[in-house]
Amino acid sequence: MTGDVRRVALPPRTVDSRLIVVARAKRAQDYDAVLDVLVGAGIRSVELTLTTPGTFEHFPHLLARFGEAIDLGIGTVTNAVDLARAIDVGATYLVTPITATDFVTRATEAGVPIVPGGLTPTELFASWSAGASAVKIFPAGQVGPGYLKDLRGPFPDLVAVPSGGVDLAGASAWLQAGAAAVSVGGPLLGDAFSGGDLNALRDRAMAFVEVCAR
């Protein structure tokens, strides 16, 4: 039973846009120019990854600069120390690629939405029943949108966000299958963090925004 479990809802902008952009840069200073373009293209939710050096240190600057326009989450949280620090710096939401129910409990107690990852029904239900805001089907590219339709049988209330290998066509298919949002990285960002054309980035972002619009 999960009806009485305390659960912190995902931020309204993320829910309404149905699109989370996963930003994985070589260094945190590279976020600024890319986020400028994403905001202008209509992106309303970005997950900054801890595999990018300096993310924690640069986060207050990004929050001050972009926080009025977009939800800024912190992802690739894989240990309790980083979980606590992400909460302390003011992450709008947290994302972890793993199933760790203690992470869910700590984030929920702090009032911060959390999206833990998993692939099997057991993993996904463990996080959901612990109070996750949503569950991240990862790596989504290994199963496809039909997997979510199958999960809907035993878990009709599951709020799911597929991540990993979701391209433009996949985004549409996952949303049609009942995903609350899609988490997109490379297919949208392309070479933007390695000197790529920012006008092309804007066009790709706008295409995803259009596909994910309700």
The answer to whether 123 is a known catalytic residue is no
Please pick, among 123, 136, 149, 210, the residue that the annotation labels catalytic: 136
The answer to whether 47 is a known catalytic residue is yes
Tokens linked to 161: 């966000």
* Cα four-point dihedral sign 81, 87, 89, 92: positive
Tokens linked to 42: 């209509």
Please pick, among 47, 68, 109, 123, the residue that the annotation labels catalytic: 47
C-alpha–C-alpha distance, residues 212 and 5, integer Å: 29
Grouping H, G, I as helix, E, B as strand and the rest as coil, residue 29 is helix
The kind and range of the H/E element at 189 are helix 186-189
Tokens linked to 147: 């997997």
Give the active site residues. 47, 136
